[in-house]
Structure 1
Amino acid sequence: MPKEFIVAIELGSSKMTGIAGQKNLDGSISVLSIVEEDSTSCIRKGVVYNIEKTGQCLTSIMQKLKNNLKQDITHVYVGVGGQSIRSVKNVIVKDLPSATQVTQEMVNELMDANRNMSYPDLEILDAATQEYKLDNQFQLDPVGIQCTHLEGNFLNILWRKNFYRNLNTCFDNAGIAIAEMYLAPLALADSTLTDAEKRSGCVLIDLGADTTTVSVYYKNILRHLAVIPLGGSNITKDIASLQMEDSDAEKMKIKYASAFTENNEIDNTLSYSIDADRQIESRKFIEIVEGRVEEIIENAWFQVPNEYADKLLGGIILTGGGSNMPNIEKAFRSHTHIEKIRIAKFVTQAINSKDPKITEHDGKLNTILGLLAKGDMNCAGGELHDDLFTQSEQKPTTTADIHQKPRDLKETTGTGVVMTAAEKQKAEEEARKKKEEEEEIARVEAEKLEMEEAARRKENSILNKCWRHIKKLGKDMISEE
């Protein structure tokens, strides 16, 4: 009997990661396999820019996982993130007759109107409901309340359409079916933040290789999301400007770099070795590193809306590979003046694994583990055999097969679930058919009304009235005789 497991894939700027895990009855997750591929040649700033090479990396990831698991994989969970993801507030207004009671249908109309918003070259990945304004008061659930003015406040999460298309195309070309697409920052937040932090207000900052993702939460609701194109690789490039290879710069960063150093702690006589023949003064090295770190922090903090900057009782939570830099908390505390800072080295779920990549608890795998925790559909196929003749020939599952019936967007709104291209196409086809049916019904009704109106006009015409009068006169004369 084949064992059940869930497979998730994260397309990072420095590496592509695939993971397979099994959910246990006690709520823990046992990691069965984790594999990585270098993605620097095909993923830039967290998005696909070389479709062919990305497809090759995906194929390699899948093959490695299958070999480790000795089982086929029917579909996978995928994280969506990277450059150009941002949130935009939107307000939909509906005026009602006096003392009208709000119904679920009215709320659905606001949500549909928001989802149908058009943004040039941008795709709405998800829409988080912020709150509803009824006359002059705010409510999270307006159904059943009387008002004359209803406003829906939404946070639309957008991404460039070509990034969205490229991501879907890569999986289609590689023959990998997508069980679900999730917004990676939301999956990460659900696995690293506590309920108290989300409720009281906090900022989650994911310090990645090419990008830094900022998520602001308040009263358990996502209030702002932004991705800035700066990360740890920028620090490496700055160090490499001292005439050295990127690989050597990365080693120096890991060995010597500190996010914050007090001026009186800098030893002006100390030098760091670049190679056997060259050295650099420690002060100059520190200034290079701290200059870039300061830029990243200031850009990340700039993303926090002013209306929430003084409501962050949960503080700042740092995660990702960049959070491992020594004194990173001091650097953030110095520039943001937020005292409460926590480094999320690992996810909140109980993870069982002996793999050093996971047991190190360095925050680098928090996103992929968050995606794995989101999965609830068995991804296991048939067992693989060494003998090619015993392999059962099964038609591979496609994304379109999984999403034959598109889900109602109202059920997934604000959950971080992103519709796949196949599901979106199905939904658009159904919406088009529904619209055509409604137009046909309206046309038939219009024709019916037009015929009734013509008949009524004919009935009331002068000629018709005269004819009816003559007929009535004739009947009266006959009846009298």
Structure 2
Amino acid sequence: MNERRDSIYAVINLGSSYLSGLLAYKGSDGRVEPITAHRIPTHGCIRQGCIHNIEEAARLISLLIDRLSESLPDGASITGVYVGLECRSMHAETYLASIQLGEEGRIVTQDDLKALEDEVNQAKYSGMEILSVTDPRYRADGKREYTPRGVRCRQLEATYQLVVARQNIITNVEETITKRLGLRLLGIIPTPIAEAVATLTTEESALGCAYVNIGGGTTSIAIYQERLLSALYILPLGGDNITRDLTHLNTRLLESDAELLKLQHGSMNTSVSKTLQIEATSTTGGQSKTFSQLDINRYIDARVREILKNVISIIDEAGFGANVPKGLILAGGVTQTDYFYDTLRKLRFEFREARLRRDVYAEGVSPEFVEEYASVIALAWGAKKEGVSYEVLPLETLMEERPEPAFSTIEPSHPSPSTTSGERLEGGYTFHNQTDPLPEEYAGEEEESREESRVQRPSWISRVKDQLTEIFDTGEDD
């Protein structure tokens, strides 16, 4: 590629409801500068984050690529893409690597750290593929060390989180991208990790929180402590369950009509009048139907509460109930449901709506664009290899200015946490080494063991779980 051309990155996110794509430049500071973005309904070819119908998925991705390509300069074409994945089998496996440094001990060297990396690099899980390896948590003679190089000890341990997914799911992605579309698969990036890394503040990721994305087919839970991923879970629950629930209203509905009803009239407000009626038209052009707004809201409210109850139960049962003091950072289409945050406020715990940090994208990108395409912006932020190639063109053409995105102005950014994620590349997966120690103001309590912190720290998890259980069982609000 001609060196005088700017690098353009291409990313696609495989959502259960929509395929999203983005082309972007990246500034010298790494901020994403969007050129164009599009999204296309999946029409069922992707289920719970997995490619179900390869032929239809290839057709839709090809259409998405064509639409993105319309904004490229002359002589440029998309030749490789990163793919964001959030599928039902994805989760984090804990891997412990260790080396013995002799009975008398010795000073830890860079070669020792490399030996730990080499060990985890050989890890294998039957039927699974490793997509990402997080930065390690080091312990020297059982004591937490943030930068162990130069420390004298007898035993050095490193605990990694390995993000894995079923091999057949990865094979379907490779079949679709490389064999059907003839594109280079530059990497498969776990979307929940990319989003969390681009969203969480230093305080949230250091003290402990859970990034939760309630999407169409899945709900992801990424738990962070000490600025590192501690656990990842994907639940096969989301907005599609709400849609299927609404097909069972007193007047039966097609799923397409139930989806439209959910989007146009859905709410979690169960205090509306019993006499309030709404009229809904069919997507097939059939006769309009009348429904009780209260009935609709009750269906939606019950299902969303059930999803929230599952999220909180998983955090608690996995042993992190006392280790997420910064609460939940919430993203995904379901969280945009009317009265969603009003419902959470009744539960009285710490949460906030997820927003990409300002250091992730360039100034001039509109907040509306960022909100709609947060996932692919986060994926582009982590991209390392360009996905657009250029033909050799005459000199006068090369001297033309590149197209500039025209978005409304935004305010300056604030600092980001140093949490990073790995990406699956053509040659395997990469490591991202943590070199900066945890800020002193966040490090004190983290010297305790997890067992000690469970006892000593108050937990809001049990209280909220009990509240959700009571509300879900009785159908009454506090």
**TM-score for the superposition, normalised by structure 2:** 0.73
Q: Any unmatched runs of 5+ in structure 2? A: 282-286, 394-418, 430-478
SS in 2 for 1:417: coil
Secondary structure of 1:279's partner? strand
Q: How far is the alpha carbon of 1:134 from its aligned partner?
A: 2.4
**Residue 132 of structure 2 corresponds to which residue in structure 1?**
126
Task: Write the letter of the residue equivalent to 1:33.
Answer: T
Mapped contact 1:86–1:226 kept (Cα < 8 A): yes
Contact between 1:72 and 1:380, CA under 8 Å: does it hold in 2? yes
Q: 1:68 to 1:270 in 2, by over 3 A?
A: same
**Residue 381 and residue 96 in structure 1: after superposition, are their counterparts in 2 closer, same or farther (change >3 A)?**
closer
Match of 1:282 in 2: 293
Query: CA offsets, 1:386-425, max 9 Å, x none?
Result: xxxxxxxxxxxxxxxxxxxxxxxxxxxx8433334x4249
Distance 1:383 1:41, change over 3 A: farther
* Structure-to-structure mapping, 1:77-476, within 5 angstroms: 77-101=82-106, 102-173=108-179, 174-242=181-249, 243-261=252-270, 265-274=271-280, 278-305=289-316, 307-334=319-346, 337=347, 339-348=349-358, 349-351=360-362, 360=368, 363-382=371-390, 415-420=420-425, 422-424=426-428
Q: Which residue of 2 aligns with 1:66?
A: 69
Counterpart contact for 1:297–1:332, Cα < 8 Å: no
TM-score by length of 1: 0.73
Shift of 1:130: 4.3
- Higher-helix-fraction structure: 1
Deviations, residues 312-338 of structure 1 (Å, cap 9, x unaligned): 33321111222211222243455xx56
Amino acid in structure 2 at the alignment position of 1:369: I
Deviation at 1:5, TM superposition (A): 2.3
The superposition leaves residues 186-218 of structure 1 with CA deviations (integer Å, 9 ceiling, x where unpaired) of: 211122222222122211111211111111111
SS at match of 2:60: helix
- Structure 1 runs (4+) deviating above 6 angstroms are none
Task: State the distance in 1 between where 2:6 and 2:333 align.
Answer: 33
Change (3 A) 1:237 1:57: same
- Tell me the distance in 1 between the aligned counterparts of 2:295 and 2:141: 59
Q: 1:244 to 1:66 in 2, by over 3 A?
A: same
| Equivalence map 1:34-73=2 (5 Å) | 34-69=37-72, 70=74, 71-73=76-78
1:381 & 1:93 partners in 2: Cα distance? 43
- Which of residues 13, 38, 43 in structure 1 aligns to 2:16? 13
Structure 1 distance, partners of 2:230, 2:428, is 26
Aligned-residue offset at 1:26: 7.2
2: CA distance, partners of 1:209 / 1:135: 45
Q: Secondary structure at the match of 1:304?
A: helix
Paired residues, number: 388
Structure with the greater alpha carbon radius of gyration: 1
**2: CA distance, partners of 1:277 / 1:53:** 31
* Range with greater deviation from structure 2 (100-109 or 216-225): 100-109
For residues 170 and 124 of structure 1, the distance between their equivalents in structure 2, rounded to whole angstroms, comes to 19
Structure 1 segments unaligned to the other structure (5+ residues): 386-413, 426-481
CA distance in structure 2 between the aligned counterparts of 1:159 and 1:213, rounded to whole angstroms: 13
In the TM superposition, residue 24 of structure 1 has moved relative to its aligned partner by 4.1
Contact 1:333–1:339 under 8 Å retained in 2:
yes
Question: After alignment, is 249-258 or 185-194 more displaced?
Answer: 249-258
Task: Report the 3-state secondary structure (helix = DSSP H, G, I; strand = E; otherwise coil) of the residue aligned with 2:43.
Answer: coil
The percentage of counterpart residues that share the same residue type is 25
Secondary structure at the counterpart of residue 68 of structure 2: helix
Aligned alpha-carbon RMSD (Å): 2.8
Q: What SS class does the counterpart of residue 12 from structure 2 fall into?
A: strand
Equivalent position amino acid for 1:366 in 2: A
